[in-house]
Amino acid sequence: MPPPAIIDLSKLDLNSPIVSTEEIRRVNPQRHEFALLDAIVHIDEANQIFVGYLDISKDDWWVRGHIPGRPLFPGVLMIECAAQMASYLTHKLIKDDAFMGFGGMKDVKFRGTVTPPCRFIIAGRGKSIKKRRSVCECQGFIDDTMVFQAEIHGMRV
């Protein structure tokens, strides 16, 4: 049984980004295939809750090899999406230009498959956001189905 959702996605307009891809790139240094966050649609700074997404297409670079004939979005890329979202949140809250790198993960569970084309939605909540280290609870959704959950740790590098 999945945990309760961090936020009720049905109450959000997932088609109206408040942070564009270009704005995300000003904070997160990932580029090309590893830029895995297309937009952010919700940030609640007071409660440290955030929601963003990655639009996944049938032409993405990983489709050809994972898994031929039945493409599945790799779990490691779900984790990377969540890490990029958590990194953006940390920068937003701390207001620091230092790079917040991936520091670890805990309690990772994959609860479903992600197949193209789709929108992979990441919701998260900051548990401990500090200048040198962050911890965020993250969940991934396809529509209203939770397919992924993890605690993502970031560290200043």
Residue 91 known to be catalytic: no
Specify the pLDDT at position 98. 81
Per-residue pLDDT band for 100 (boundaries 50, 70, 90) equals confident
| Residue 76 lies in domain | 24-156
pLDDT in tens, 28-79: 999 999 999 999 999 999 999 999 999 999 999 999 999 999 999 999 999 9
**Is 90 exceeded by the pLDDT of residue 81?**
yes
pLDDT in tens, 111-156: 999 999 999 999 999 999 999 999 999 999 999 999 999 999 999 9
The predicted model gives 70-99 an average pLDDT of: 93
Residue 16 placed within a domain: no
Distance CA 8, CA 11 (A): 6
Specify the pLDDT at position 157. 87
Q: Is 145 exposed, middle or buried (0-12, 13-18, 19+ CB in 10 A)?
A: exposed
Spatial CA neighbour of 102 closest among 155, 64, 53: 155
From the list 32, 42, 66, 153, the catalytic residue is: 66
Residue 101 placed within a domain: yes
Residue 12 placed within a domain: no
Could you list the beta-strand ranges (E) of the chain: 39-44, 49-56, 100-110, 118-129, 133-142, 145-156
What is the number of domains present in the chain? 1
Distance CA 78, CA 156 (A): 21
**Domain harbouring 123, CATH code:** 3.10.129.10
Residue 18 placed within a domain: no
Residue 3 placed within a domain: no
Distance CA 96, CA 90 (A): 8
Residue 1 placed within a domain: no
Residue 10 placed within a domain: no
Residue 80 placed within a domain: yes
Specify the pLDDT at position 60. 95
Specify the pLDDT at position 67. 92
